[in-house]
Amino acid sequence: MTPESITRLFTRSDGSFFCARWGRPVAPVIFGLADESLDIFRGAIRAGFAHAGHPLTETDPEMGANLMLFFVRDWSDLADIPDLDRLTDAPDLAARLGRAGADQYRMFRFDADGGIRACLGFLRMSGALADSHPAQLAEALFMRCALTFAQDITPSPDLAALIRAAYDPVLPVAATDPAHALRLAARMGTA
C-alpha cells in the first residue's frame, strides 16, 4: 500500500482526512445471531484485535458494551431495540437506512483525544448479505470497526497490516493530517 492509497482510505467525501483507532479496551456484544454464527463473529473480533495488539474486555466502565453489533432481517426490526433513538441520536435510523437501500451501517463515538470510544454496527441480513459466508463477513465487519475507514473496504493482508500499523502505541489514536498516511506506510514497510 502506498501512502496515497492509505490517504484515500481515510479521506471523507468532504475532503477531510480522519484516521482513528480504539483508544480504550473493546467490550463487544452481538445481537440477533444464532449461536453457531455468534461463535464465528466473536472469534473474528478476538483474533482481529489480538492481531492489532489491542485488548478486549468484558465491560467498559462507562458504557458496558462499546462495540455493539445488531443483525436484523429487515431495517424495520430495529424498532424492537429499546432506546435505539437515544443510543444512536438518530430517531429515524431504520427509515433512513430503508430509503437508502443499505445493507449495513456503522457509526462511531469518540473520546476527547479522538480515539474510538464506541462503534455501533447494523447489518440487514435479508439483502445482499444473505448469501455472505459468515467467516468472510465477520472478518470484514471487524476491519470496518477497527479503524475509521471513509470508504467500504474488502479484507486483505494489506488491510490487516495497515490495522496492525495503526495500533502501534507510538502513533496517536487519531489523526486529521494526511501526512499520517506516511507514518502508517512506513510501519507497514511500504513507504
pLDDT one-digit tens code per residue, 125-156? 987 787 888 899 999 999 999 999 999 999 99
Work out the angle at residue 90's Cα, subtended by the Cα atoms of residues 88 and 94, and round it to the nearest 5 degrees: 100
pLDDT for res 109: 95
Q: Got the DSSP string for 146-185? A: HB--SS-----HHHHHHHHHHT-TTS-SEE-STTHHHHHH
pLDDT one-digit tens code per residue, 7-39? 999 999 999 999 999 999 999 999 999 888 899
pTM attached to this predicted model: 0.92
Helix or strand or coil: residue 75?
Answer: helix
Architecture of domain 22-146: 2-Layer Sandwich (3.30)
**Rounded Cα distance, 182 and 75, in Å:** 39
**Rounded Cα distance, 10 and 132, in Å:** 25
pLDDT one-digit tens code per residue, 102-125? 999 999 999 999 999 999 999 999
